[in-house]
Structures are given as structure tokens and as C-alpha cells.
Structure 1
Amino acid sequence: MTGTEVRAVVGRRSAPAEDVVEFALHPVAGGELPAWEPGAHVDVVLGSGMVRQYSLCGDPADRTTYRIAVLRQADGRGGSAWLHDRLEVGEEIALRGPRNHFPLEPAGSYVFLAGGIGITPLLPMVRRVAASGAAWTLHYGGRTRASMAYLAELTDVDDLGGDCVNLVPQDEYGLIDLSAALDPAPPETAIYCCGPEPLIAAAEVACAARGLALRTERFSPREIADAVDTAFVVALAASGEELVVPAGRSIVDVLVEAGADILTSCEEGTCGTCELAVLAGTPDHRDSVLTDEERAAGDRILPCVSRASSERLVLDL
């Protein structure tokens, strides 16, 4: 499905690390782009019809420019290769959003854990927190220094915080030492983590053991163990129509087939584009976006991947 789009033109290409290209995007007609806050991402509509999500890593105060950094993924679905190989300075591209399911929240102190291209949503957060004077540390890992984007910018930010950035190239130091990163953290510390799944999974275990609040953003779907599909009914509150969602088909598939107006993008539960309100019934959450508290509330669902634990779900649609 399509939604409201903003046309942007590529103003600059740069290479902040090996296999990473940054694009500076400006509104085609001049003026300002939609406002955003640290943690936000945009949907990038590629010329091939693919839609991919990329974190905004620039300055939220600069409404004339969006910055996104794209890692070429050899085993990806083709989006990063298209952007690396096809999108040049002066070309136009369509954007949707921004959306923010990874917001920076007030806290007494912060620990940021970044792996590889996972630095992108954390970079604006670190700048914001460093400028505020709050206590913070960033632990940033990557395969090599050459593969780690924005090291120069982080040096500038570190000057604000006073030796708060811990760089961990794996070929020099191994993996991020989560015990060393988390053990000094007071209970009220907010932990933000973005990167490959092994880092996020390890951070979840480590934070749970210490009673620390962890906020994550995943670039790939989380694994759901022992998930079983059964048929259920979704009811559309506006029309009263009831639709059967059989095992093996998603709620989104059934809704679109029935002509429902629903916006989708990643269709793997990582972007949050298709989020719907649940008015009755119990969701079986399988997304990688909602927090544990949001899942427990049971009042929203990502219908591209999630299902129902009850026999019937009533959606605000």
C-alpha cells in the first residue's frame, strides 16, 4: 500500500566507513522536511518498488536535510545494493515518515550499545544527551575500525562528555564487554541497543539479570520459538465485517485482499508502519517493535507478523 510521500533529492554522497554510503537528502521543492526526533527512521521507496527503512542520523534541528547511512549487505534482499549502485547526487527519491518506535526517553543516565551500522539511530541520541549534560557512555563495536562509521563525529561528541566513547573494533579487542559496560550503571539508567541480533540478544540477557531497562531497535526480525499458527477471526470495528485469518496467512494479507486501507512496508515486524489498535481480543505478538509493556497492554498489534491468541480480534479499522 502507498501513503503520503515526500520527494527528496540527493545532495551529497559520502563514505563514512567501508561498505557504508551516507546520503544527504533535501526536499525537492525547497522548504522543510517533516520534523523528527532521535531514534526515528524513514521509509525509502526505491525505484524498483522496494521499500526499506533507514534510521535518521543527522541533526533534528536541521529541517532542510535528512541523513541516512546504508550498509551494503551482500546477503540482503537487494535494497542496499540498489542504493549503493543506483542512487547518485541529483537524483530524486520518495520518502515516507518519519516514524519513531525507538524514542529517547528522559533518564538519570544512559548507556548506549552499538554494533556496526546500529550506530545510526544512536548517534543523534548521543549528541542530544551529551549536549544536555546528562551522564552517558557509548560502547561501539565493529569488525574493524575501517568498518565503523562516524568515528570522527563521535570524537567531537566525546569532547562534550569527557572520554565517554568506548570503541571496540573486534579485530583489536574482541566483542563489547557487557559486564564492564553495565555493571557501573545505576538502576535508573536507560540502556539503548542497536546492532546485530547476537549483540541485542546478549544485551537483553545482561540487562534482565541486572534489572536495567533496555530499549532496542532491530534491523531483522526477532526469532519466535515454538510459534504455532491457528485460524482466528478479525473483526473490523468501522464496518462490522468479520474475516477469517487461516493458518499460514497474515492478518495483513487477509485485510488487503478484502480491500481494507492499511499501510505496510517491511512486512516482517521491524518497522511499525502497519500498527493497528486492538479494541477486543488478545494479540499473539511476534513483532520486533513493541516493548514488553506495550505487548502486555494488548491494545495494539503489528498485523504483518502477529496473530491472535484469542478466537477473535476486533481492530480499529
Structure 2
Amino acid sequence: MKVVLASCAALPEGDGDDDALVEALRSDGVDVTWQPWGTDVHADLVVLRATWDYTERLDEFLAWCDRVPALANPVSVVRWNTDKSYLVELAGRGVPVVPTAVVEPGEEPSFPDGEFVVKPAIGAGSRGAARFTDHAAARAHFEALGVKALVQPYQSSVDAHGETALVFFAGEYSHSFHKGPMLTRDLAESESGLYLEEKLRGIEPAAAQVALAEQVLDGAAELLSLRRNDFLYARVDVVEGPGGEPLLLELELTEPSLGFKHTGPESAARLSAAIRGRR
């Protein structure tokens, strides 16, 4: 089986988190190589991994995904998931989601009381996301972005507890890791400029967080007329709501970091098995 891990020109072999996956695939007899997206690719399966500059060239990226014969996750999933407006759709299916308003360029945004976040609807690595209490400053930020944006009340629990990222392969739970607060002043930008450096560590999720993640994947599969195991990989980012309840912050089905550096080799082995199951 020949597998290509799709990257980008700035990070042609990813950021190192997928090294364990490469090792697991090769141990399982898979011919695996890295290749930046946008180029012609010939493989049994192309797995999107570090395509993190797509936000600036989304139409080109989606057109390339359309041309790839065997893509994971599938292009229909990528097209839906690269616009974070999917949060509103999931909320409409009864999924507990951080309250989200979508604002189009030229529209007058309505901001909540207290602290809130404005971020691009199409974005990665927390770039363009910022916290505000001042409505005028938030409006200026939204206008400077010049793109569709999300407005969400900031969940103050993140400052103390961060986020929990729950990772699934072929619809089955694999592992979790903790993400420190992202919208703080002390986070540095990566050398590539494609994302902010995160503070990560392995963690055991609460049962309620796993239950929410399962509900999220079921809702997404239903919306896309797919089965949960059609998602080769998924990362469900969960935060604690005002009453301590878990809320969905983001569902990552396109090119998420999967936290292999912060868990044991069995996690990479599980994704290798899921990839080989797509032959």
C-alpha cells in the first residue's frame, strides 16, 4: 500500500508530531512519503496532515482535493469542515456548542456582554482569533479581517482548565490531550508562521467529555450522510461551560494535529491500522 501524507511548502514533512505515525506505517509495511498539497499525487490513499496554509488559498486547496482520487478525510468532509459555520449546524442538531454567531463581511456584528472572541470562520492555528470586551475594538478587528467571522462568548474556564482534545480513528476513540489557553499574550508564533505554539500534554478525559465527542461525531456523520467510521480521523475540542458542562469548541476533520508526541506509540499504531483498513 502506498500512502502520501499531504503537507505544505512551509512544512514539507510536518511539524514532527506525525513522526510516530510514519514509523508505525513503515513498521506495518506501508510505503509512506510526505508531499506538499497542490502537486500531482499518485497513491492508494492521500492523508491530509500538515496542509496548514490552505486558509489563504481555500478555493485552490479544495480544487486540488477534488482531483485527489482517494483522500482522507473525503473532500465532502473537508469542504464542510473548513468553514467553522458547521458549529451552527451542529447546534441545530442539539449538540451542546459554545454559543456561536456567524457574521458576514459588511454585516453589523452583534457582540455579547462580557468577554468574547472574534475569529475567522475559515482559519487554522488560532491565527486571527482575539479576545475582546470593547465592542469598538472588536468591530475594528472584524473589519480588518475582512472575511466571514464567528463571534462567541469567551469561556473563562479555559484560563484555568484549557481545552481537552479527544481523538478518534475510524469512528473509535483513541486518546486525548490537554491544550493550554490559546488566546493569551504569552504564546509565540511557530517558525513557519502557520500556527501559534501550543502547550500540550496527555490527559484522561471525563466520561461526559467522551459522551459529548461521540454525540458530535454522530451529528456530523448525519449531516454529511456518512457513517462515523468514514472519518479516518477526527479531533473534538471540548471546553467547560459556565455550569461545568462540556461544550464543543471545534470539530477538526481536515488537518488536525493528533497529539502523537503526548501519548504512547499505540495511538499511532491505531491510525496506521485505520489507514491500512482503507486499502
User: So what's the TM-score if we normalise by structure 2?
Assistant: 0.27
| Higher relative helix content | 2
Per chain length, whose mean CA-contact separation is higher, i.e. which structure has more relative contact order (CA < 8 Å, sep 6+)? Answer: 2
Q: Higher strand fraction: Structure 1 or Structure 2?
A: 1
